[in-house]
Amino acid sequence: MSEEGAQLAREHEALWQKQANFRSLWNVSAQYIMPAWDNFIGEYAQGVNRNTRVFDSTAITANERFAAAMEAMLTPRSGLWHKLSTGDPELDESPAIARWLDQCTKIMFACRYHPEANFASQTDECYMSLGAFGNDALFVDEVPGRNLRYRALPLSEICWAPNHCGVIDRVDRKFRYTAKQAIDHWGGVEHVPAPIARAFASGDPYQEFEFLHVTKTNPEHEPGAMGPRGMRFECWYVYLGDKSVLERAGYRSWPIGIGRYRVAPREHYGRGPGQSALADIRTANELVKTVLRAGQKALDPPVLLAEDSVISPFNQRAGAANYGMVSQDGKPLAIAFESKGRFDVGKEIQGDTRATIRDTFLNTLFQILVDNPNMTATEALLRAQEKGELIAPAMGRQQSEFLGPIVHREFQLLMDAGQLPPVPDPLKRSGRGLCVIYTSPLARAMRAEEGTAIMNTVADLAQMANLDKTVLFTLDFHDAAREMANIRGCPAKLLRSEEQVQDLLEQAAQQQQQSAAAAQAPQVAAGVQKLASAAQLASQAGGSPGAPSVPNAA
């Protein structure tokens, strides 16, 4: 046992206990939304059926669509969803710096979506967790000399604590390794505790052991120092069997992106759509059970029998013959019970409840443009503006807390590995850092109000121009077109540069002058011909050899 390991274990236990109420809440949510994640309280063997409580799958499918929409709106793999900027427009417009920023962005995307990096699948798990539990965590690391590596951390394994500013600066993860995994991780039997080595040597390499991974701010950080002291953040690996420290290392940048959907006052963990709709989710499951029971009664109703010892139970199978079940006057001695249940009422309540669940998971919001494919461009812009306004509060937190640290971590890892081009000298001399500008569909939806304002202004100017043409000089239509293309997400490579536009304007002006000259050429030629004829007549009439000659028209 080491004193550092024991202290870290005690601190972790305190954080773990503070999370107890959330684990109970998440466990109930998992039972109805993500049954396979139902391990916040107790553990299950692999492959156990955990769907026994689910009678209505609306919440399960709604959460899957929420995760798909989050990926499409925040991190679409089909396009660039962010770019780098110096934060200074003048520097960004410098050709050398602009090329460097563009190169860095493309390299980061290539490394992020490398097949071995596993970014897409791990972020999908994060978005599923965000919808069901309101929290997610993505660990960003590297395989030295090869590629970046991402891993979604299960919420059932982690707990965290914020600093005085509310920013998460400590994350603890309690997890299990088999003896073989521990030996592979730490590079040999001699580097693991004795119980793990004995288990491996005795022929039980898949026996599991508990470990603690702590990532937190380094209190001994000294800029420029070598080793752990030079790292802004430190990490510890502790074997919980004897509280021994197996490894102490550090990170130059925060390695974990933490996403929280909505955070209540004096709470450190988020609450997501799964918690907001939990009452409706449980109601939907109970309604399905009620309707199923009513349907069973309607299709296979109970049978009413007369209280007579002569009548015995009879065969209810199709085509069966039952003697003595009809009275002498032809009346049946057994009749089906009619409950007269209102299936329509049950279906109506089910529909309302399911609609509320889908709406809470933003399914209806993301479906707006799909359900109205024939809307005009202006209508689509207004819809996008409405969508951006509704989801901006929750999604903006994902950009700042979840994606921001991930992008900065990736940049630092790739720069240290020498995979990014050298920083241009003008940027070095400026002393400015880099910031992230999001260009995802969500970012464009949040800027849709600007596009609406531009379109409305253009429409108003067109009407005003009927009274006074000079109002058209009020708006710079070239800059307005560029801004509109940026808002609508037009690829930058399709837009001409200012120099190209100026060359085209000069060519158009020259062509206009040539066309005007060509149009006037017949009139000039006719005038010259008339002038020449008049001069000739004057010469003949005067007969003077000294008559003035015709001037050269050319």
Same domain, 133 and 227: yes
Average pLDDT over residues 141-156: 89
- What pLDDT, on a 0 to 100 scale, did the predictor assign at position 257? 95
Would the pLDDT of 425 be above 60? yes
How much of the chain is in helix, strand and coil states, percent to nearest 5? 55, 15, 30
More confident call, 551 vs 424: 424
Q: Which among 55, 26, 128 has a CA at the least distance from the CA of 361?
A: 128
Facing residues of 257 across strands?
138
Query: What confidence category does residue 550 fall into, taking pLDDT thresholds of 50, 70 and 90?
Result: very low
Query: Distance between CA 292 and CA 52 in Å, rounded?
Result: 15
**Helix residue spans in 398-487 (DSSP H):** 404-416, 425-430, 441-446, 448-464, 477-487
Same domain, 257 and 343: no
More confident call, 543 vs 191: 191
Query: What confidence category does residue 380 fall into, taking pLDDT thresholds of 50, 70 and 90?
Result: low
Place of tokens 């819809």: 383
Same domain, 267 and 288: no
Cβ neighbors of 8 (< 8 A, separation 6 or more) are 212, 214, 236, 238
Residue 295 belongs to domain spanning? 282-311+328-352
Query: What confidence category does residue 542 fall into, taking pLDDT thresholds of 50, 70 and 90?
Result: low
Same domain, 123 and 272: yes
- The letter for the amino acid at 14 is A
Q: Which among 147, 145, 127, 146 has a CA at the least distance from the CA of 137?
A: 127
- The letter for the amino acid at 414 is L
Average pLDDT over residues 148-164: 94
Question: Mean pLDDT for the chain?
Answer: 83
Strands 168-178 and 244-251: unpaired
More confident call, 8 vs 541: 8
- The letter for the amino acid at 180 is K
Lowest-pLDDT range of 109-113, 179-183, 221-225, 236-240: 221-225
Residue 233 forms part of a structural domain? yes
Stated pTM of the model: 0.78
At 308, is the secondary structure helix, strand, or coil? coil
Same domain, 307 and 251: no
Residue 484 forms part of a structural domain? no
Q: Which among 421, 436, 410, 434 has a CA at the least distance from the CA of 147?
A: 410
Residue 361 forms part of a structural domain? no
Average pLDDT over residues 531-546: 63
Same domain, 100 and 22: yes
Residue 412 forms part of a structural domain? no
Same domain, 157 and 298: no
- What pLDDT, on a 0 to 100 scale, did the predictor assign at position 305? 72
Same domain, 133 and 273: yes
Average pLDDT over residues 158-177: 94
Average pLDDT over residues 98-104: 91
Question: Per residue in 360-374, pLDDT tens?
Answer: 998 877 666 455 555
- Overall domain count for the chain: 2
Same domain, 161 and 79: yes
Say if residues 284 and 163 touch (Cβ distance below 8 Å): no
Residue 386 forms part of a structural domain? no
Would the pLDDT of 517 be above 90? no
Share of the chain above pLDDT 70, in %: 83
Question: Per residue in 43-75, pLDDT tens?
Answer: 877 888 888 889 999 999 999 999 998 898 889
Considering 254, 277, 300, which residue would you say is the last residue of a domain?
277
- What pLDDT, on a 0 to 100 scale, did the predictor assign at position 302? 78
Same domain, 11 and 149: yes
H helix or E strand, kind and range, residue 247: strand 244-251
Residue 120 forms part of a structural domain? yes
Q: Which among 205, 232, 262 has a CA at the least distance from the CA of 397?
A: 262
Lowest-pLDDT range of 95-104, 267-276, 303-312, 452-461: 303-312
- What pLDDT, on a 0 to 100 scale, did the predictor assign at position 525? 66
Residue 342 forms part of a structural domain? yes
Residue 446 forms part of a structural domain? no
Same domain, 44 and 132: yes
Lowest-pLDDT range of 174-178, 249-253, 336-340, 383-387: 383-387
Same domain, 252 and 346: no
More confident call, 406 vs 528: 406
- What pLDDT, on a 0 to 100 scale, did the predictor assign at position 274? 95
